[in-house]
Structure 1
Amino acid sequence: MPEHTRPESAIFIADSNPKNTVEDSHDSLASTIPVLPYYGVDYSTFSHSTLIIGGETEGISEDSYKFASSRNGLRLNIPLIEGVDSLNTGMATAVIACEIKKQFVQAWSKMKKEKVEAELNT
């Protein structure tokens, strides 16, 4: 995985655990990676991003946690209603991708508005 990402790429792991502790075999490593809600990151500030989503059966691999930890990555949590443990990989990807796109559109719109206002003021 590291050989397929740019050195400046921000690393994100989609994680169904909302706490900063994990109770599986990767608990000590995963708990060293901060967890934020998926909408709590300003994706538009990164030039490159890598999103790691674990399989529905196997979850996140230990190598993925090691990689994210070595690159100061973040665990992204999608808050769910009580009784729902996780989303399938396609839905998790769609939720996070829509947030990323929304933020880029907002950043572009803000930049465009500022440019137009600057032109009007000259």
Structure 2
Amino acid sequence: MSYPAAQLTSSLPLLLICDNIRDPGNLGTILRSAAGAGCEKVLLTKGCVDPWEPKVLRAGMGAHFRLPIVANLDWESVPSNLPAGIQVCVADNKEPGARAETTSVPRGAGRAGSAPGNLKAPVKSKPKAAPEPEDEEEAADVCVPELAAQYYYENWTQTPVAVVIGGESHGLSPDALHLAASTGGKRLVVPVVPGVDSLNSAIAAGIVLFEGKRQLLRRHKQEDERQKFPVVG
């Protein structure tokens, strides 16, 4: 599929990974935000709703035809779809400095920073079919790494970066956290007031992606100015 030249020339070293986004409206809105922010590519892991489902297409408002979308990926194949040297970060709402009391969480219910673990643990693929709710409750515990955290408005775009957005039902998967840890990634915290459990996944994606765009454009502007007006020693 070919994409608009303006979209390709305006794309940034910013990628999006959707982790088990099951709601069609949310996924369509996320894709629309990714296209608007100038994301280079969107990756959808197994468990996400079909991006070509009619409700997703309606919510996407044409985003499907403006940027590459790679769907139905297992976690073992995600790294091969990422550029070399990229850092993978995860969006979260757990405040920086918050620590977990346990060392494992149920598979599919992982939250960034929810438990310390072995940062060198391999990324494991999920089952080919999305588990039913009753199966998830019986899933075995899986250790997940603890990631360093910072607020989303602090600088995190020093290198090309991919942002993982988790589904609202179960948050970030352990596989997403292992991938982030293997690249030296962080938790990007979107703070919310006490009593609010979490943001809608589409809203969180929009906040983080457009902040990434702002940081990247600002850095590019600063680099251009340094080239035009070099500092004379």
- TM-score with structure 2 setting the length: 0.45
Q: Tell me by how many angstroms 1:115 deviates.
A: 4.0
Query: Which runs of 5 or more structure 2 residues have no equivalent in the other structure?
Result: 1-77, 118-143
Q: Does the residue aligned with 1:28 lie in a helix, a strand or coil?
A: coil
Distance 1:3 1:81, change over 3 A: same
Which residue matches 1:21?
A: 99
Are the counterparts in 2 of residues 21 and 31 from structure 1 also a CA contact under 8 Å?
no
TM-score (norm 1): 0.80
Q: CA deviation at 1:31?
A: 5.5
Match among 149, 155, 168 for residue 56 of structure 1: 168
Q: Work out the percentage of aligned pairs sharing the same amino acid.
A: 25
Larger gyration radius, structure 1 or structure 2 = 2
Q: Which amino acid aligns with 1:37?
A: Y
CA distance in structure 2 between the partners assigned to 1:15 and 1:111 by the alignment? 30
Q: 1:93 aligns with which of 205, 212, 215?
A: 205
The root-mean-square deviation of aligned C-alpha atoms, in Å, is 2.2
Structure 1, gaps ≥5 residues long = none
Deviations 1:57-113 (A, max 9, x none): 011111111111222111110011121121111111111111111112222332333
2:87 aligned partner, one-letter code: A
Deviates more, 1:14-23 or 1:74-83: 14-23
* Deviations, residues 28-83 of structure 1 (Å, cap 9, x unaligned): 2356210111112241x21x211111100011111111111222111110011121
Contact 2:89 2:161 in 1 (8 A): yes
CA contact (8 A) 2:168 2:200 kept: yes
Q: Secondary structure at the match of 2:116?
A: helix
- SS for the counterpart of 1:39 is coil
Q: Residue type of the partner of 2:195?
A: G
Return 21-30 or 57-66, whichever deviates more: 21-30
